[in-house]
Amino acid sequence: MRWKGIFYERRLFPNGWVAGASLAALALMVPLIVIFSGILEPTDKVWSHIVNNLLGTYTMQTLLLMLGVAVCSFVMGVNAAWVVSKYRFPGRRLLEWALIMPLAIPAYLSGYAWAGMLDYTSPLYSFLRNNFGVHTGQYLFFDLLSLPGAIVVFSLSLYPYVYLITRTFFQHHAGNMFDAGRSLGLGPWAIYRRLGIPLARPAIVAGISLILMEVLNDYGLVNYFGVETYTTGIFTAWFAFGNVGAAMKLSALLMVFVLGLLLMEKYQRRNLWYAGQPTYAATHPNRRKVRFGWVITVLTSLPFVLGFVVPIAAFIHWTVSVDAANHRDFGRLLLNSFQLAATAAVLVTVLSLFLGFTIRTFPGLLTRVSVRIATLGYAIPGAVVAIGLLVTTLWLDSKGGGTVLITGSIAALVYAYAVRFMAVGFHSIESGNERISVHLDQAARSLGSSLWRTFLRVNLPLMRGPMAVAFMLVLVDVLKELPLTLILRPFNYDTLAIRAFEYANDERIAEASPAALVIITAAIIPVILLNLIMKHNPHHKPSKK
Amino acid sequence: MSILIADQLTRQFPGSTTPAVINFSLRMEEGELVALLGASGCGKTTVLRMIAGFERPNSGSLVVYGQTMIGPEKFVEPEKRKIGIVFQDHALFPHLNVHENIRFGLKGMLVHHSKRVVEKMLEITGLAGLGGRYPHQLSGGQQQRVALARALAPEPLLILFDEPFSSIDTLLRKSLRHEIAEILEQTGTTALLVSHDIDDAFALSNRVVVMNHGVIVQEGKPVEVYRNPANKYVADFFGQANYLPVSAFDERMTGLICCSRQRVMGDELVCIRPDGIRISLQKAENSLEARVLTARFMGQYTEVTCECDLGGQTQRITIHTRETGFDANTRIGYLQIDPSVCTVVE
Ligand SMILES: Nc1ncnc2c1ncn2[C@@H]1O[C@H](COP(=O)(O)OP(=O)(O)OP(=O)(O)O)[C@@H](O)[C@H]1O
Ligand SMILES: [Mg+2]
């Protein structure tokens, strides 16, 4: 009983719930702390080799990639958001949500599909060669497997982030400002240039920051396209040089980029101009009719077609045409993937429920800070989380008598997923909690329920919906995850994403298709869900999910 | 020449069963200030948005200063109409300062010229010296004036206000109303004001148009509409009223009250404003004795409720009087009803 006294009466923690939340936050923060401690590690030969020969390239290519993706997704996403919000043209309503769909295809899968299609040996190229005598040298149009190619593919699959957030702004948060501009004599394009873009700037920057975080997180696409970013550097350091210290240092450097983006996103989001309450007219706008509506239809549907329809069509085509013998161990893959994803999803959901109830009941500073920390992982690239955890498990194993027990275990992998995807689950639980009056809990407690009983008998039953959403979102995110899984998976333990990655790197992209299709099919569900949420609750700010 | 001729404008929103605005017709002369009043949801904003060009009517026509804006096969986009609008939320552009906001509509004007216009507008609206501020650095009343200056700067043919004072607190509202009335007069602007506050209408307009459920129910000078409401809706909208059955009055009074009406069915109500009845402590010729129930001092007037026998029935009447001497102990008062302030309503 004495430790309990110290624990509570010294007011370190007001009670067990807050203490639990703080401990959870601490545990989830371990990988990040470990990474930053990497800076203190003594430099060795590998690290000086990287600094002298590779770091410049990594920095340059990472920056160019970020810049390119920012520009391209701005062009695609913001224009589309404006056109869809302000004009009337055939298929507008369909496109309004179809433009979000590319989010369902992880960038690396989109990259494999495009690479497979535009390959010198691809049926598309042979067709053009044989029937039209097209000879453009080694490449069809340009070498897709390059930095510019990666920029295009990234933008095609990630622009929906900026599209979605600016569309919401244009449709719901600009009040009467666009109408005011028109009554002052400005035509629609002048309004877009002089009001639309400047007013939406915070939304645009926030959306692009999210996109760039995804770019920094990626490994599959940059690896295949031969772009040398920090993430590729981390993999090289660990897999090629076997040097965990160098991987840690690179991770810490990568985190500097991430923190920059994070700050930018937070700052801009706070600056978002909300022009009063959305008016009836603003939410049911009278869209302007355009003369050549179908031209707009074609132009606006390009990002959707190139980012969603084409890759899916390619994967379906390959799935159908590939020899069935290659699908032999597909059942095992499915089982592995879904088991892993479901385990992680359950862990995250349970933790989220606990944190959600704690912050609801004890919304003090300590709880808020704990929740912040616990949900920080969404910003940390998967490779960084993985290296952080790898170092931790290696250390634990060395202390535990030298046998490799934790390193490369399923438990470590699931733990890493929890670190990375905690925010996704917590966010849905939190928004569920916001919709339930705290008076319910207070009524239960005044009727003599303990906190535990209130949690189990009142909160949990009401959270069934958000629980399901949290579970599903995390499930899908784990299914799609690649870099973290690559580093931490148990030896020879294959998942769908890993298999797609391996086939692609063996130049057998067609055989990667069934795995890719399963991932994409699962990922479509949350995208549709997201769209529904945004439609019905325009005040919902799109975060990572 | 009429500034504005709206004819039979009708707007039905897709998905709703009844039109939001039905056959709205209005004519406005140069320099006129018209207030459009009505309960929430009666279609006022929709009328305004049709005139400004943000909403397309299903039928009807609109001519502004001789130019057809809406007509068969014709629709002029809002940016081509030269109609200014001041929104309830002011809709100031947050990324531009006051000067830039006001200059926003002055396209194609030489810089030094537009600068002069802005300076003049700042002066007129009492904002001199605030040109460099951003909207969020201004008070509600100042924002309101910037919105007005911005709308006035391009010298629109007509200016529309949609509930311009509803986001401003009562005290400020009063002074702002007078200021704006002055500015509009000074610049000779024709304005259409939408509001559901009758004080706005009284303070700012020469003419009021009252709407209910998408139709115009009455139109006229503020005092006419106040004294002689066309129906109970209008009467209630413009303040408190006593309703007495026609049968409560004798032949002579009925004749005087109903002189303008062709026939009287006998079940109409007579509407009398609380300040339309005189009450005094002294008995006079033709006065009616009434039992005073309560007398409450309200500041500008004393509110007296009393009961009296009219046409064989006991009627309860509320009166606002400026006479002194009425208090909680008063028992008896004497009423005098002036037939010219009585109106028959359905
Ligand atoms: N864009 C729209 N789409 C569908 N219905 C609409 C739209 N705008 C308004 N309405 C409906 O038309 C009716 C009239 O609305 P309007 O905004 O003109 O009323 P109002 O008189 O301005 O009311 P308030 O005083 O509350 O501003 C309302 O019933 C409203 O619900
Ligand atoms: Mg309105």
pLDDT in tens, A196-215: 999 898 889 989 999 999 99
CA torsion A254-A255-A259-A260 (nearest 10°) is -20
Cβ of B91 within 8 Å of Cβ of A199? The answer is: no
Cβ of B91 within 8 Å of Cβ of A179? The answer is: yes
ipTM value: 0.80
Q: Which two three-digit tokens encode residue B248?
A: 């409560």
* pLDDT value of residue B153: 92
For residue B89, give the chain A residue with the closest CA.
Answer: A276
For residue A188, give the chain B residue with the closest CA.
Answer: B79
| Residue A135 or B246, more confident | B246
* pLDDT value of residue A7: 47
Ligand 2: distance of its center to the CA of B231 in Å?
23
pLDDT in tens, B233-246: 898 888 888 888 88
For residue A86, give the chain B residue with the closest CA.
Answer: B54
In angstroms, rounded to a whole number, what is the distance separating the alpha carbons of residues B186 and B33? 13
| Count of all residues that appear for chain A in the document | 545
Res A279 pLDDT > 60: no
Res B304 pLDDT > 60: yes
Is there an atom of ligand 1 within 6 Å of B41 CB? yes
Cβ of B107 within 8 Å of Cβ of A183? The answer is: no
* pLDDT value of residue A282: 56
In the block, residue with structure tokens 């210290």: A245
Percent share of chain A, pLDDT over 70: 87
Q: Does residue B85 belong to the interface with chain A, where contact is any CB pair within 8 Å?
A: yes
In angstroms, rounded to a whole number, what is the distance separating the alpha carbons of residues B43 and A41? 72
**Mean per-residue pLDDT over chain A, rounded:** 86
**8 Å CB contact between A175 and A276:** yes
For chain A, what is the largest distance between any 2 Cα atoms, rounded to a whole number of angstroms? Answer: 86
* pLDDT value of residue A403: 76
Lowest mean pLDDT among A75-84, A269-278, A376-385: A269-278
In angstroms, rounded to a whole number, what is the distance separating the alpha carbons of residues B81 and B63? 10
Q: Does residue B75 belong to the interface with chain A, where contact is any CB pair within 8 Å?
A: no
* pLDDT value of residue A10: 47
Is there an atom of ligand 1 within 6 Å of B92 CB? no
Ligand 2: distance of its center to the CA of B59 in Å?
21
Which residues on chain A are in Cβ contact (under 8 Å) with B55?
281, 286
* pLDDT value of residue A126: 67
Mean pLDDT of A353-370: 92
pLDDT in tens, B127-152: 999 999 998 889 888 998 999 999 99
Which residues on chain A are in Cβ contact (under 8 Å) with B52?
179, 183
Instruction: Determine the angle formed by the axes of helices A160-168 and A55-86, rounding to 10 degrees.
Output: 40
In angstroms, rounded to a whole number, what is the distance separating the alpha carbons of residues B155 and A136? 61
Q: How confident is the model at residue A352 (pLDDT cuts 50, 70, 90)?
A: very high
* pLDDT value of residue A544: 40
pLDDT in tens, A153-185: 999 999 999 999 899 888 887 778 888 999 999
Mean pLDDT of A458-474: 91
End-to-end alpha carbon distance in chain B: 37
Percent share of chain B, pLDDT over 90: 36
Q: Does residue B82 belong to the interface with chain A, where contact is any CB pair within 8 Å?
A: yes
DSSP lists the bridge partners of residue B209 as: B36, B219
Is there an atom of ligand 1 within 6 Å of A280 CB? yes
For the sheet with B242-245, list strands across it: B242-245, B269-272, B342-345
Is there an atom of ligand 1 within 6 Å of B13 CB? yes
> Which ligand 1 atom minimizes the distance to the CA of B42?
21
Of A163, A533, A537, the C-alpha closest to A545 is A533
Nearest Cβ partner for A182 among B45, B79, B89:
B79
- CA B165 from centre of chain: 12
Mean pLDDT of B293-310: 88
Strand spans (E) along A243-395 = 288-289
Q: Which of residues 298-337 of B touch A (CB under 8 A)?
A: none
Cβ of A182 within 8 Å of Cβ of B93? The answer is: no
| Residue A281 or A71, more confident | A71
Q: Which two three-digit tokens encode residue B286?
A: 């033709």
* pLDDT value of residue B64: 93
Ligand 2: distance of its center to the CA of B142 in Å?
22
Which residues on chain B are in Cβ contact (under 8 Å) with A280?
45
Lowest mean pLDDT among A321-335, A433-447, B324-338: A321-335
- What is the DSSP code (8-state) at residue A276? S
Collapsing DSSP states into helix, strand and coil, what is residue A219?
Answer: coil
* CA distance, residue A118 to nearest chain B CA (Å): 45
Cβ of A180 within 8 Å of Cβ of B82? The answer is: no
| Count of all residues that appear for chain B in the document | 346
Element (H, E) at A187: none
* pLDDT value of residue A145: 85
pLDDT in tens, B33-89: 999 999 888 999 999 999 999 888 999 999 999 999 999 888 998 888 999 999 888
- CB contact set of A355 (below 8 Å; sequence gap of 6+): A21, A24, A370, A371, A374, A426, A429
* pLDDT value of residue A545: 36
Q: Which two three-digit tokens encode residue B168?
A: 């401003």
Q: Of all protein residues, whose CA lies closest to atom 14 belonging to ligand 1?
A: B43
Res A139 pLDDT > 60: no
Q: Which two three-digit tokens encode residue A447?
A: 């009727």
In angstroms, rounded to a whole number, what is the distance separating the alpha carbons of residues B208 and B180? 17
In angstroms, rounded to a whole number, what is the distance separating the alpha carbons of residues A101 and A84? 15
- CB contact set of B294 (below 8 Å; sequence gap of 6+): B303, B304, B305, B328
* CA distance, residue B24 to nearest chain A CA (Å): 19
Is there an atom of ligand 1 within 6 Å of B196 CB? yes
pTM exceeds 0.90, yes or no: no
Mean pLDDT of B178-207: 88
For the sheet with B288-297, list strands across it: B277-280, B332-337, B288-297, B302-310, B313-321
* pLDDT value of residue A516: 94
Cβ of B151 within 8 Å of Cβ of A183? The answer is: yes
* pLDDT value of residue A5: 46
In angstroms, rounded to a whole number, what is the distance separating the alpha carbons of residues A283 and A286? 9
Protein residues with C-beta less than 5 angstroms from the ion ligand 2: B 45
**8 Å CB contact between A330 and A322:** no
Count the neighbouring beta carbons within 10 Å of the beta carbon of residue B126: 14
Res A424 pLDDT > 60: yes
For residue A199, give the chain B residue with the closest CA.
Answer: B95
Is there an atom of ligand 1 within 6 Å of B16 CB? yes
Nearest Cβ partner for A185 among B49, B55, B107:
B107
Ligand 2: distance of its center to the CA of B191 in Å?
16
- Amino acid of residue A134: V
- What is the DSSP code (8-state) at residue A43? P
Res A254 pLDDT > 90: yes
Is there an atom of ligand 1 within 6 Å of B274 CB? no
Is there an atom of ligand 1 within 6 Å of A286 CB? no
Cβ of B89 within 8 Å of Cβ of A176? The answer is: yes
In angstroms, rounded to a whole number, what is the distance separating the alpha carbons of residues A89 and A310? 23
State the Cα angle at A463 between A461 and A466, rounded to 5°: 150
- Amino acid of residue A296: I
Lowest mean pLDDT among A122-126, B60-64, B90-94, B192-196: A122-126
Residue B108: left (phi > 0), alpha (psi -120 to 50), or beta? left
In angstroms, rounded to a whole number, what is the distance separating the alpha carbons of residues A162 and A99? 11
For residue A176, give the chain B residue with the closest CA.
Answer: B91
Res A130 pLDDT > 80: no
Res B167 pLDDT > 70: yes
Q: How confident is the model at residue B259 (pLDDT cuts 50, 70, 90)?
A: low
Element (H, E) at A88: strand A87-88
Ligand 1: distance of its center to the CA of B113 in Å?
40
Instruction: Determine the angle formed by the axes of helices A55-86 and A147-158, rounding to 10 degrees.
Output: 40
**8 Å CB contact between A49 and A250:** no
In the block, residue with structure tokens 């949290």: A470
In the block, residue with structure tokens 């906190």: A451
CA torsion A302-A307-A521-A83 (nearest 10°) is -50
> Which ligand 1 atom minimizes the distance to the CA of B15?
4
DSSP lists the bridge partners of residue B306 as: B292, B317
**8 Å CB contact between B121 and B153:** yes
* pLDDT value of residue A292: 84
- CA B256 from centre of chain: 29
**What 3 state SS string does chain B have?**
CEEEEEEEEEECCCCCCCCCEEEEEEEEECCCEEEEEECCCCCHHHHHHHHHCCCCCCEEEEEECCEEEEECCEECCHHHCCEEEECCCCCCCCCCCHHHHHHCCCCCCCHHHHHHHHHHHHHHCCCCCCCCCCHHHCCHHHHHHHHHHHHHCCCCCEEEEECCCCCCCHHHHHHHHHHHHHHHHHHCCCEEEEECCHHHHHHHCCEEEEEECCEEEEEECHHHHHHCCCCHHHHHHCCCCEEEEHHHCCHHHHHHHCCCCCCCCCCCEEEECHHHEEEECCCCCCCEEEEEEEEEECCCCEEEEEEEEECCEEEEEEEEECCCCCCCCCCEEEEEECHHHEEEEC
Ligand 1: distance of its center to the CA of B138 in Å?
30
Cβ of A276 within 8 Å of Cβ of B105? The answer is: no
Q: Which two three-digit tokens encode residue A238?
A: 């660990």
Cβ of B89 within 8 Å of Cβ of A184? The answer is: no
Query: In the A/B pair of chains, how many CB contacts fall below 8 A?
Result: 81
Structural domains in chain A, sorted by start:
30-282+291-536 (1.10.3720.10)
Most B CBs within 10 Å, among A179, A184, A205, to test the B interface: A184
Q: DSSP of A49-80, one letter per residue?
A: HIIIIIHHHHHHHHHHHHHHHHHHHHHHHHHH
Res A541 pLDDT > 60: no
| Residue A40 or A85, more confident | A85
